[in-house]
Amino acid sequence: MVDRALPDADLNLRDAADFIFESQLGRKALECSDFPHFPIFLRDLLTTIYRLAQSCHLAEFTDHGLLHLCSLVDRISRWTCVPYQGKSIRLIDALDHSRSEAAVLLLSTLFHDMGMLSQRPEDLEPSQQLRLEKAQSDIPTWVRETHIPRLRGLLNRLFQESDKPSDILTNSIFQRAVSIAIAHGSWPWKEDFIALRGRDMGLAAVLAVSDLLDEDSNRCDVRTLLDHRLGTTLNMAHWIRHGLTNGRVLVEKGIVHILLVRPPGTDAQFEPAFSALRNHFRLVMLYEQHLSLLGAGFLKLDFQPNLGCPEEDALILSDWDQISEFQSQRALLYHLLKSFFAIALCDSRRETEDTISKTTGLNMEPIDLDFYYRYQGEVESRSIYEQSFYALLGE
């Protein structure tokens, strides 16, 4: 089958459903015989995700709805492994012939970010509710930090309240998919990941890698951000960060091709942002051992030359300094660095030495974080507003 272009950014439910059902992963998953009425459940699940996205009221987030899911399904469908005996094998052809693995992988992909589209504290386990109290942080930060802990409770609530057969919640494919979706937010040595069994670790690695690679500008509408100044500084930094990767990042014959672009008005002082982004992409190599369970290991990253910002993107990104918190290159860099995992920054103040040691051999680029911590306050932590103020001053 010929690869299809991703749906338009303003896609509707029908377009997304058609795209996912017609994808290579979707077609293989639909052959699963171990989940009664799987096609009906899949269509109802997409409807549920669409409705959650429509009522989310957090427009400042990068996309976690159907467009993001279509992108991940497409990336998995088009993923080809290192050629063996001169022939390149599609990842989906390495999944088991019973089709249950394809169904598990598809469902876990669709489940993985549903917590980003919901804000219900009752979906947390009782033991987590006080520790992750909503009032302790702004709503977008709370949603981001709890979207995985809330996932199982969210899915149980949605399908207990629905008119679907109750045996959905006990179906082994459903349960495996939930566990894999939860594990996608864990590094491969963490509890949620190592609790998986056998090849399910490989499926979790595929989802985690596909999600890490979904870093391009399709994830966000930068023009909306710049026109309406939506969200916290962290959310705005996420949006701009996605504008730094040009084109979709796919795995072709085991090679991951990546082209980074420089926003207009930035110079060599902006380089730490590119170092952090390259380190972010290098983190996919942490999953090689588990990808090899499916015959999909041996990844190679190909960072193509920085050719500058494409003309159409330059017109948008040239306005980055119109955001009050980002009016200097130094301030922009500071907030961008805050948007990355601590492990991508090799940040020993926020990440354990043991975790950082796991990146040995990945050619991680060191990043000077002295200025980063200076803006946060050397002795006493500063508020978000103070951090933005001192970053703008460059002091």
CB 191 within 8 A of CB 125: no
For residue range 264-277, list pLDDT tens digits in order: 888 888 999 999 99
For residue range 239-255, list pLDDT tens digits in order: 788 888 888 899 999 99
Q: Cα–Cα distances in Å, from 319 out to 247, 264, 271? A: 20, 9, 19
What pLDDT does residue 1 have?
A: 46
Q: Which residues pair with 90 in a beta bridge?
A: 80
User: pTM (2 decimals)?
Assistant: 0.88
Q: Which amino acid is at 368?
A: D
For residue range 55-80, list pLDDT tens digits in order: 775 655 555 678 889 999 999 999 99
Instruction: For the chain, give the mean pLDDT.
Output: 83
Per-residue pLDDT band for 336 (boundaries 50, 70, 90) equals very high
Concatenating the DSSP letter of every residue in 144-194 gives: HHHTTTTHHHHHHHHHHSSSS-GGGTT-HHHHHHHHHHHHTTS-TTSHHHH
For residue 252, is it left (φ>0), alpha (ψ between -120 and 50) or beta?
beta
For residue range 293-313, list pLDDT tens digits in order: 998 888 899 998 766 776 666
Phi then psi for residue 99, to 5 deg, are 70, 0
Phi then psi for residue 310, to 5 deg, are -55, 150
Which residues have CB under 8 Å from 265's CB, separation 6+?
318, 320, 321, 329
Q: Which residues pair with 176 in a beta bridge?
A: none
